[in-house]
Amino acid sequence: MTPRETELIEAALQARARARAPYSQFQVGAAVLAGSGRIYTGCNVENASYGLTVCAERVALFKAVSEGESVFEALAVVTDAATPATPCGACRQVIWELCGDIPVVLASVAGRRETVRMAELLPRPFASSFLGERQREK
């Protein structure tokens, strides 16, 4: 692990402590490193209407985008699962669209760590280029 990856994990761990997970009891923290060097964090926020729940990864990314960031270098996700958990499908799509093939550091509170690239997590993403293809077909 690089010092920057360790810093991201620590930020995600701190964010995880603020998670609101009364239904799943599965607290998740995320931290994204923007091109500016700033780290943005997020935690999962659950809702009784489950579809309105927002994952930690999207919270962190949306905070960064709302602050003007558009370039991202790495993302960390921390859970208490025995094996570091990967982002859900919806988060994978958002991460791909906003960040591309960045490294994703997966970590558990027990200290297990693994770094994967987004292309490994989402090998055939839906991309905005498909929308342009639809326009050209008309």
Q: Where are the domains of the chain?
A: 3-137
Topology of domain 3-137, per CATH? Cytidine Deaminase; domain 2 (3.40.140)
Does residue 127 register a pLDDT over 90? Answer: no
Q: For residue 137, indicate whether it is catalytic.
A: no
Rg (CA), the chain: 15
Q: Residue range 37-44: average pLDDT?
A: 98
Q: How confident is the model at residue 129 (pLDDT cuts 50, 70, 90)?
A: confident
Cβ pair 15, 28 in contact under 8 A: no
Q: How many CB atoms lie within 10 A of CB 135?
A: 7
Check 7, 46, 57, 67 and give the catalytic one. Answer: 57
C-alpha 99/C-alpha 92 separation (Å) is 10
pLDDT given for residue 128 in this prediction: 85
**What length does the chain have?**
138
Q: Which of left, alpha, beta for 102 (phi over 0: left; psi -120 to 50: alpha)?
A: beta
Retrieve residue 20's tokens: 């609101």
Predicted TM-score (pTM) of this structure: 0.93
